[in-house]
Structure 1
């Protein structure tokens, strides 16, 4: 595999150090705190009566990523915009597709990828690699003619939101293209180190080591430090008071750290189930419509 170009916000070797530390405790490694991939195909978009294309992308460090492009179904031509969907930490895109399957009917293209190690994507997942992957996907999106001159939004759920914050802040600071018109974070943690410490605290075997082990994750990963840098791109933070995976206070913390323009949507569904409720879909559509003509 080709050597990996150092990432913008990440310190080379940090993930290896974290993996070593947890391995000493007979745990499966630092990445296991964040990544639970599988290669099962649960459903494909055609089963939902959606048109789609399989997309394969090569990363700079030699991995091959798989994704889906779902064109808008609206009679409007061109589409109202494009949503770049970054899924959560379990399974793969085929188990998360229902979260965005409603968007093509509303006139939005959807593009989503599997991070390395997920689904049909090659490699093994880690934080730095996943950040390479989401950046690779956004660059592909920017070169697609159907996306030109129309709004582009990042929608990140849970882990995908953590990756989306890092991507969007750097993208905005560099004034990269395509320009982002909004970032939507659903059930996202306020930082990799913060949530790792909380999860280690909840397990008796790792409780005594929660602080030293969390220190093996660089604080460069903390979304709360980077979400202010997304401004002036509008940010919408969505979090449920019933979220049993990422506690509600993470959403509050991210919203408080974000700069204007920003919105907060308090929900009451289980983790990852926001878009089962039509009212919450409507709120996201309104956010995109309000910010699509900036």
Structure 2
């Protein structure tokens, strides 16, 4: 009976593994904050032929650089953009885009696909006219932080990236899957064997050393209940220099930059990178 139960749960897990990571929303929500900034729709293609949608948001004054946002696993850019809009007031252009299956982007969301999408976004920025290619930063939040590590580590455009900001990311797809499986009565007894069903190839802990010599800044809250702090600590310890970690006591997930003090600190960090 135990073997049969494990088989059934395994089949269910295989059928829906990606749903543990991806919760895309197709509808773009009306965002009143966008009326306060200058932005344009951007469409670009991936290497496997899908069309993705994003927004390029101009800095309020003369641009100091461009930040590419890789957002988290739920909703779409119409909500995630709020966490980076403040950068435009500090002189930074922002590219935010939706992975395949999210918002106005084509396709079905897959683990392989979202990593392909991030590479396409970086290539798009490099090829846009009037972009200062000497001042490109990547900010990945939650799932986006995990995607950012692999993207920078393997990108042919790595030399253009000035720094990577990894905000509240997990260290391993398989590891975070095991932790989430352990939260449910049905899957708790099988959390270890079931976690082996998850693709761990892209796990940031496996690639973060290869981000060097690009500076890495890891942000993580000690009170993060979605992606516990130990994930950020693991990534910091595995990363090669130059690296830094900022630990906050703010409750919630992706909350390290909600306070003005932390935002000011980040701007000084970006401006201090030559």
TM exceeding 0.5:
yes
In structure 1, the residue matched to 2:84 is 100
Alignment of 1:85-124 (within 5 A): 85-124=69-108
In structure 1, the residue matched to 2:270 is 288
In structure 2, the residue matched to 1:31 is 18
Alignment of 1:61-210 (within 5 A): 61-74=48-61, 76=62, 79-171=63-155, 174=156, 176=157, 179-210=160-191
CA drift of 1:28 comes to 5.9
Cα distance in 1, alignment partners of residues 198 and 264 from structure 2: 37
SS of equivalent to 2:12: coil
CA drift of 1:71 comes to 1.1
Cα distance in 1, alignment partners of residues 30 and 243 from structure 2: 34
Unaligned runs of 5+ residues in structure 2 are 1-6
Bigger proportion of residues as strand: 2
Cα distance in 2, alignment partners of residues 109 and 47 from structure 1: 14
Q: CA RMSD, aligned part only?
A: 1.9
CA drift of 1:231 comes to 0.6
In structure 2, the residue matched to 1:6 is none
In structure 2, the residue matched to 1:11 is none
CA drift of 1:209 comes to 2.6
State how many pairs are aligned. 267
Q: What is the TM-score when the length of structure 2 is the normalising length?
A: 0.91
Deviation string 1:14-40 (CA, Å, 9 cap, x unpaired) is: xxxxxx986723786111110011123
Match of 1:253 among 230, 234, 241: 234
